[in-house]
Amino acid sequence: MSHILRVCAFSLLLVAVAPYSSQAQDGKAFFKGKTVTYVVATAAGGGYDLYGRLVADYMQKYLPGSTFVVRNMPGAGHMIGANSIGAARADGLTIGIFNTGLIYTQLAGVDGLRIDLNKMSWIGKAGTDPRALVMAAQTPYKTMEDVRKGDPAFKWAGSGVGSAAYMELKLLIDGLRLPGTIITGYNGNEDRLAMRRGEIQGTIGSYSSYEGFVNDGYGRFVAQIGGSNDKVPQLRDLMKDESADVRAAIALIQSQGEIGRLTAGPPNIPADRLAALRGAYREALEDRELRDKAIKAGRPIEPAYGDDLAAMIEAALDQPPATVALLKAALSEEIKSVRANGPLIEVRDKGREIVFKGPDGNVAAKPSGSRTVIKIAGKDGKREDLKPGLACAIDYTPGGDNEPAVIDCK
């Protein structure tokens, strides 16, 4: 009798697995001879780009006959890349990676996000990576208490409004009464370079992204949010006496570290193609060679797949009204400054108007002859010294004349 029951149970398992397996096999055939665009919602370099390229390389391996092409689409706190993925044809030929900051963006109802994360075709996530507050090594900030008592002119680095770093910094600055201003426009590893140059004092990001920076002596961790590294204090332990709303915000930030390095496609990808993509993603993330490369690069691999990830996203978006109000309050102030890095595209009227590439496209700005600080190769400069092609770091306030506060050219 027990033998019969075992045979029946095994038969039922085959029946349950067969539809998924056959769907994946049917879907695999579709990708033969096709090109898949894998969108990375950041500039080249940095953690998302590395994970994205690893995933693309090895998904191609497990979808025989396919070709994966990586396309970097930075800007607007990952919204440009994510919107592009969400608006793509639901044929399975456009997928990509963006950050969990868009969970905050959707909860807060930020203008510009044109996707519904609950409706995306979730393929998998690659990592579980705690968040950490990191300070430049040359600053005097060694503890969270030092930061709280810090200079009001403190500058924090963020990529753009809606990015995880921006939203989390706003939550912490407002909730914990931290000093300073968020300077947006830093993509990839630009914030680390800015901290080394002394332009920026600190930021928040995934622990793995800054571990090498800290180990090389360029920065220091003052707190982590989640994770198990006992060398860095947990922010939740340091802030036990804060309000329930602040503790809830810290808990929400911690949950984001558990849903790291997402890969998704647009809504309504046909079931067989989505099954094939999920299957190839699972095989890619379990490939020993990929894992060895990730370990060598200091990037953790702790994956989740398909419907399991979709359930995690749904839970993260199910927040109480008080937490949603905190997120909306975090975005209630206008951006005070934006950072752009790159060459001057045009210089008009002896430097009275310049054009450069901002985080979301070309920007025309009018430097002030008295208020704008201009540096050329480390020396004081004037507007008439500005020339097309000069590589400059530009801090400016969006709106009106986009007047730069600082133009620092090499």
**Residue 118 in tokens:** 């609950």
What pLDDT is attached to residue 24? 63
Other C-beta atoms within 10 Å of 253: how many?
23
Cβ partners under 8 Å of residue 94, min gap 6:
36, 37, 39, 84, 85, 88, 265, 266
Closest CA to 328 of 397, 399, 249: 249
Taking only the tens place, the pLDDT of each residue in 27-85 is 999 999 999 999 999 988 888 999 999 999 999 999 999 999 999 998 887 999 999 99
Instruction: Note whether 159 and 185 are within 8 A (CB).
Output: yes
Per-residue pLDDT band at 399 (split at 50, 70, 90)? low
Phi then psi dihedrals of residue 92, to 5 deg = 85, 0
State how far the Cα of 226 lies from the Cα of 128, in Å rounded to an integer.
10
Q: What is the pLDDT at residue 101?
A: 84
Least confident of 23-27, 171-175, 384-388: 23-27
Q: Where in the chain are the domains?
A: 2-127+258-326, 131-245, 337-409
Cα distances (angstroms) measured from residue 396 to each of 111, 334, 365, 367: 21, 13, 8, 9
Q: What is the model's pLDDT at position 1?
A: 46
Q: What is the DSSP letter of 148?
A: H
Superfamily of domain 131-245: Periplasmic binding protein-like II (3.40.190.10)
Helix axes 271-285, 47-62, angle to 10 degrees: 110
**Least confident interval from 80-89, 337-346, 379-388:** 337-346
Q: How many other CB atoms sit within 10 Å of the CB of residue 74? A: 22
| pLDDT band of 11, cuts 50, 70, 90 | very low
Over 80: is that where the pLDDT of 8 sits?
A: no
pLDDT surpasses 60 at 407? yes
Beta carbons of 186 and 157 less than 8 angstroms apart? yes
Return the top range by mean pLDDT from 71-80, 86-95, 160-169, 201-210.
Answer: 86-95
Render 104-140 in DSSP notation, one character per residue.
HHHHHT-TT----GGGSEEEEEEE---EEEEEETTSS
The domain made up of 337-409 has a fold known as OB fold (Dihydrolipoamide Acetyltransferase, E2P) (2.40.50)
As a whole number of angstroms, the distance between CA 290 and CA 55 comes to 8
Categorize the per-residue pLDDT at 13 as very low, low, confident or very high, splitting at 50, 70 and 90: very low
Task: Show Cβ contacts of residue 313 under 8 Å, excluding neighbours closer than 6 positions.
Answer: 103, 117, 118, 120, 122, 259
Section 378-404 average pLDDT: 87
Q: Which of 83-87, 136-140, 333-337 has the lowest mean pLDDT?
A: 333-337
C-beta separation of 193 from 169 below 8 A: no
Separation CA 233–CA 297 (nearest Å): 24
* For range 115-138, the mean pLDDT: 95
At residue 156, the 3 state secondary structure works out as strand
Q: Do β-strands 35-40 and 94-98 pair in parallel, antiparallel, or remain unpaired?
A: parallel
Question: If DSSP codes are grouped into helix, strand and coil, which group holds residue 239?
Answer: coil
CB proximity list for 74: less than 8 A, separation 6 or greater: 41, 42, 43, 80, 81, 159, 187, 188, 359
Provide, rounded to the nearest whole percent, the portion of the chain with pLDDT above 90: 55
Question: For residue 4, what pLDDT is reported?
Answer: 46
Per-residue pLDDT, 262: 95
Lowest mean pLDDT segment, chosen from 11-25, 97-111, 134-148: 11-25
Going by C-alpha positions, the residue among 343, 408, 39, 369 that lies closest to residue 197 is 408
Q: Fold match between 2-127+258-326 and 131-245?
A: yes
The pLDDT of residue 335: 56
pLDDT value of position 7: 42
Confidence of residue 252 (pLDDT cuts 50, 70, 90): confident
- Residue 183: pLDDT over 70: yes
HEC string of 296-348 equals HCCCCCCCEEHHHHHHHHHHHCCCCHHHHHHHHHHCCCCCCEEEEEEEEEEEE
Q: Which residue has the higher pLDDT, 354 or 334?
A: 354
CATH of 2-127+258-326, one of 3.40.190.150, 3.30.70.270, 3.40.50.12160, 3.40.50.11540: 3.40.190.150
pLDDT at 328 over 90: no
Looking at the predicted structure, is the pLDDT value of residue 187 above 50?
A: yes
Position 14 pLDDT exceeds 60:
no
